[in-house]
Amino acid sequence: MQLAVLLANRAGPLTAIEWSRLWSAAQSVAQHFDASVEGPEQDDVVRRAHQLDALCAELDAQVGLSVRLAGPLSFQQVLSVIREVGFLDYGRQTAWLADSGIPRFSVLFDGLLADEVKSASVERIDLLLDLPNSPADEQAFSRMACVGRDLALRLGGELLDDQGRPLPEHSDQGIDEQLFAMYQQLERAGFTAGESRTARVFA
């Protein structure tokens, strides 16, 4: 029997305490089958976990845009427009899907998932591109920005960048190029953007 251990994710690297607990759990399983446990030394595991965490920190990126509404709008009205333009349910997310069925980017309402919204109205729509968890795309940002501008037009809002400033159209291509370079860096590091193996680390 082989046990696989995730060395790092967005919460940080595997710690010595966590490794000790996993080792104890493995020993309990081994005793049940009158077997023994073989594995790497704790110091080596912790060192490799920190190396992986540092590597992933350099490759991780999330890009956001916001549609600031002119005033509060009915959540159900906003959700109806969101679905009308092409967003679909993906687990708990409301997402814009690639042809592969994987989210390119997702939408939040006042920073919340659709099933977390308790108020009758919302004032802001957030679009989020989670780069390691979205398929590689040479136009990743401009696709999201195009949808954001459409939503702003339909809902009478204004599209803002992640610094809260109006998003100029001429910025799209440059950001596309920067993000695609990061997709390529991920690939060279052994992580294919949008794949389940990558999602386990960038979660």
Q: Model confidence over 174-193: pLDDT tens digits?
A: 999 999 999 999 999 999 99
User: Domain count of the chain?
Assistant: 2
Query: Does some domain include residue 159?
Result: yes
- 93-111 b/e with 16+ CB inside 10 Å = b? bbbbbbeeebbbbbbbbbe
Per-residue pLDDT at 157 exceeds 90: yes
How big is the CA angle at 194 (ends 40 and 102), to the nearest 5 degrees? 140
| Domain that includes residue 113, residue range | 61-201
Indicate if 72 and 33 belong to the same structural domain: no
Q: Mean pLDDT, to the nearest integer, of 7-21?
A: 97
CATH number assigned to the domain comprising residue 157: 3.30.1400.10
Residue 154 backbone dihedrals phi, psi, to 5 degrees: -65, -35
Which whole number is the average pLDDT over 3-18?
Answer: 96
pTM, entire model: 0.89
Q: Are residues 81 and 159 in the same domain?
A: yes
- 118 burial via Cβ count (<10 Å: 0-12, 13-18, 19+): exposed
Q: Are residues 66 and 52 in the same domain?
A: no
